[in-house]
Structure 1
Amino acid sequence: MRSRNGECAAELQTAAGLFNPQLVQMLLELNREIGSDVFIAANAYDLNMDFVTNPRAYGFVTSQVACCGQGRFNGIGLCTILSNLCPNRDIFAFWDPFHPTERANRIIVSTIVTGSTKYMNPMNLSTIMAMDSLV
């Protein structure tokens, strides 16, 4: 949306980028008050941005064109019967202007389960589940 060459809208990216650091700080404070790591934050924004800046590292051909939509980059509207549809959704990072493809979502979920603190804070889901099973 609002793009002439496939880039993300700067003001929307700035707003999204401000959210996760504040969420992590809030959850760290809540965990400190409780005295245990009860809450974890998943930073899907940074992972999505990794898809955007380096789609080939994840096996995607592009992040600038959505698989299904209208307009030059399929960045207008949601996927409808009138949309352009890509021939292979597995090589696209985004399904429509807003949502990752199924393959991208699988990468996101895998990162939530086993990822580093770059994306998961204070720990990933498998670590907190293992800790919970010891209790």
Structure 2
Amino acid sequence: MGCVPAELALRSRNGDCDVELERAASLYNPQLIEMVKVLNKEIGADVFIAANAHLMQMDFVTNPGAFGFVTSKVACCGQGPYNGVGLCTPLSNLCQNRDLYAFWDPFHPSEKASRIIVQQILTGSNEYMHPMNLSTVLAMD
């Protein structure tokens, strides 16, 4: 949350993620996993799964080059610092190749980044998915 171009434009002077928003995001997922554990225990089966999309996104935010991105700080389409101000409109700055950007607009991952997140939801480890990934759930069905 604190690393999207909109928050960088609003809160950052040097391109660093907002510490408070990142802390809030880091508190959410462990609580979600605990809630899913409780619900699954009450039902008696692993019916619910939790996806840590924040952690998935942080992989390419902290190391964009490993995923083929040139940046995770600047949006492909936007205005102002980090292209993080306003909506993507005909007046916005637009990158030449959206596959090189982790973020499409000030808030949303690019199509390529979204594919990475979906792949983790389908086949990711327990680091990202709890208690199992979606492929495992579908194989059981």
Residue segments in structure 2 that go unaligned for 5+ positions in a row: 1-9
| 1:5 lines up with 2:10 in the alignment | no
Match of 1:87 in 2: 96
> Secondary structure, in 3 states, of the residue corresponding to 1:80?
coil
| 1:123 lines up with 2:132 in the alignment | yes
Residue segments in structure 1 that go unaligned for 5+ positions in a row: none
Deviations 1:94-117 (A, max 9, x none): 111210000100111111011111
In 2, distance between residues paired with 1:99 and 1:8? 16
Q: Return the match for 2:105 from 96, 105, 111.
A: 96
Shift of the alpha carbon at 1:57? 1.1
| 1:41 lines up with 2:50 in the alignment | yes
User: Could you tell which deviates more after superposition, 77-86 or 100-109?
Assistant: 77-86
Identity %: 70
Aligned length: 132
| 1:52 lines up with 2:52 in the alignment | no
Match of 2:82 in 1: 73
In 2, distance between residues paired with 1:6 and 1:83? 20
AA of the residue aligned to 1:40: I
Query: So what's the TM-score if we normalise by structure 2?
Result: 0.89
Shift of the alpha carbon at 1:6? 2.1
> Secondary structure, in 3 states, of the residue corresponding to 1:65?
strand
